[in-house]
Structure 1
Amino acid sequence: MQAEKKTIYAWAAYDWANSAFATVILATVLPIFYRDVAGVNLPGNLATSYWGYTQTIAMLIIALLSPLLGAAADYSGAKKKFLKTFVILGVTGTALLFFVGSGNYLIASCFFILANLGFAGGNIFYDSFLPEISKSVSIDHVSSLGYAAGYLGGGLLLAVNLILISKPALFKISSSIRASQISFLTVAIWWLLFSLPAFKYLPEPEQDLSDLSVVKYWQIALKRLQFTWTNLHQYQELWKFLLAFWLYNDGIGTIIRMATIYGREIGIAQSDLIGALLLTQFIAFPCALLFAKIAAKITAKRGIYLALIIYIIVTLYGYFLDSAFDFWLLAAVVGLVQGGAQALSRSLYGSMIPADKSAEFFGFFGVSSKFASLLGPTVFAYTAQLTGDSRYGILSITIFFVLGIILLSRVNVEKAREEY
Structure 2
Amino acid sequence: MTPSEPEPEAASRRPPQSSNNGATTSGKNQTARMTSAEKKWVIYDVGNSAFVLMSTAVVPIYANSLLKAAGRTDIVSTWGYAQTIASLIIALLMPILGSIADVQGMKIRFFIGFFGTGVITTCALALPLTWLPFLIVYVIATIGLNGSLTFYDSMLIDTTTNDRMDKVSSHGFGWGYIGSTIPFMLCLALIFGGPHTLGWSTAACTRASFLIVAVWWLIFTIPLLTSYRQRHYRTTADHMGEAIHGTLHEIGTTFRNIMRNKPLWMFMIAFFLYIDAVNTVISMSTSYGTQLGIDSTQLVIALLVTQFVAFPCSLAYGRLARIFSAKTMIVAGVVAYMCIVLFAAFFLRSATEFWILAISVGVFQGGIQALSRSYYGKLIPKNRANEYYGFYDVFGKTASILGTLLVATITSATGNPSIGVLSIAILLTGALVFLTLQKDPTVKP
Return the letter of the residue paired with 2:85: I
Change (3 A) 1:387 1:172: same
Moved more, 218-227 or 88-97: 218-227
Return the letter of the residue paired with 1:235: N
Is residue 345 from structure 1 mapped to residue 372 from structure 2 by the alignment?
Answer: yes
- Deviation readout 1:282-315 (Å, 9 max, x if unpaired): 1001100001111112111111122122211111
- Equivalents in 1 of 2:34, 2:185: separation in Å? 32
Change (3 A) 1:321 1:212: closer
Is residue 159 from structure 1 mapped to residue 185 from structure 2 by the alignment?
Answer: yes
Return the letter of the residue paired with 1:57: I
Gapped regions of structure 2 (runs ≥ 5): 1-28
Q: TM-score, normalised by structure 1?
A: 0.93
- Deviation readout 1:51-85 (Å, 9 max, x if unpaired): 10111111010000011111111124321111111
Change (3 A) 1:305 1:258: same
Return the letter of the residue paired with 1:23: L
- Equivalents in 2 of 1:363, 1:144: separation in Å? 21
- Structure 1 residue 155 displacement after superposition: 2.1
Change (3 A) 1:417 1:244: farther
Matched-pair contact (CA < 8 Å) for 1:164–1:171: no
The corresponding residue for 1:17 is: 47
Task: Tell me which of 95, 107, 116 is aligned to 1:88.
Answer: 116
- Structure 1 residue 171 displacement after superposition: 4.6
RMSD: 2.2
- Deviation readout 1:128-159 (Å, 9 max, x if unpaired): 01122222751110110111111111122222
Aligned with 2:229: secondary structure? coil
- Equivalents in 1 of 2:431, 2:239: separation in Å? 45
Aligned with 2:69: secondary structure? coil
Return the letter of the residue paired with 2:155: F
The corresponding residue for 1:299 is: 325
Change (3 A) 1:208 1:334: closer
Is residue 403 from structure 1 mapped to residue 430 from structure 2 by the alignment?
Answer: yes
Gapped regions of structure 1 (runs ≥ 5): none
1:308-387 correspondence to structure 2 within 5 Å: 308-319=334-345, 320-387=347-414
The corresponding residue for 2:26 is: none
Moved more, 289-298 or 134-143: 134-143
Return the letter of the residue paired with 1:75: V
- Structure 1 residue 223 displacement after superposition: 2.6
The corresponding residue for 1:7 is: 37
The corresponding residue for 2:315 is: 289
- Equivalents in 1 of 2:37, 2:268: separation in Å? 28
Q: TM-score, normalised by structure 2?
A: 0.88
Change (3 A) 1:246 1:302: same
Return the letter of the residue paired with 1:164: L
Matched-pair contact (CA < 8 Å) for 2:84–2:404: yes
Change (3 A) 1:211 1:344: closer
Aligned with 1:75: secondary structure? coil
Matched-pair contact (CA < 8 Å) for 2:90–2:146: yes
- Structure 1 residue 416 displacement after superposition: 9.6
- Structure 1 residue 235 displacement after superposition: 1.2
1:19-418 correspondence to structure 2 within 5 Å: 19-25=49-55, 27-44=56-73, 46-101=74-129, 104-135=130-161, 138-169=164-195, 171-204=197-230, 209=237, 212=240, 218-319=244-345, 320-414=347-441
- Structure 1 residue 392 displacement after superposition: 1.3
Change (3 A) 1:245 1:175: same
Matched-pair contact (CA < 8 Å) for 1:162–1:275: no
- Equivalents in 1 of 2:64, 2:223: separation in Å? 36
